[in-house]
Structure 1
């Protein structure tokens, strides 16, 4: 077998589809910097760009073996990246509109139908991000925030230590803060 670095993209894809982890790693190393550069240029934020590139490669890892790449591998990965960027920007726009709407509401002290629609959209985004948490972390977080149980009560109910509960909640809050942004996070949590 050839070293993965000497193989063409087509050969790497074939090997990857047959379960070769080294082929995936080579694809990752070959295209990570290019995708990061594109995302960084579009978003002007290194951390968000890194997150989106990681998302693209996570999806490629889980679904790539079933995907039929009709054009080139770079074109396929670039199109995945572009979709992720547009999805991210659309979520940011909803968050931004919500913040502006909330500021307007506070200023005018009005509660409009538009505000309720935006509130529902934001609640849906938050619910989606909470649902994306790892299952145990999500369970602990929901018992704390939705059922309003204390760390001790959660620990007793799940048969884990209070320290584990505290760590799970802190980790969930870090994840949500990074995904939702500081302003939205402070409004809801």
Structure 2
């Protein structure tokens, strides 16, 4: 929005607050959305953030300083909202790490237990989809707890082949969990319990 439109905005605020708001909304919504999406990579969340920015504008529209840029004000609100999301995500991740690291006893209805069950189900489904040799090697390693050498001897394969097959299996499982729902950071942390 150029200087003339900024001036018009502040003049309109005095006479028709809704029209002034619509002028700014039409001019800035798309650029704010693009900025939010670039930072958080979620269309729905970016739209929610921009909506929150405009709610803040509406709540403070009468208090804005005509000497300052409306666009700069909107970007500042958006930046603060994005930073709050990053802070919340960091707190959640630290909490998830602490919960899994301490191996806290949980009752059957706790969120952690439910997430672990969901994770186990996802892993079991992916194991069933593995090629037969990879699946057999993975099961011998994880369920029968055989060493790489023991598996190689049992299957008459080289130890390097066993290592390669296990690495491929681990990669498949990690990708499956990540593809399932990347927003569940706890699942990604818990996967190490099963790999």
TM-score by length of 1: 0.50
Task: Name the structure, 1 or 2, with higher relative contact order (CA <8 Å, separation 6+).
Answer: 2
Q: Which entry has the higher C-alpha Rg, 1 or 2?
A: 2
TM-score by length of 2: 0.49
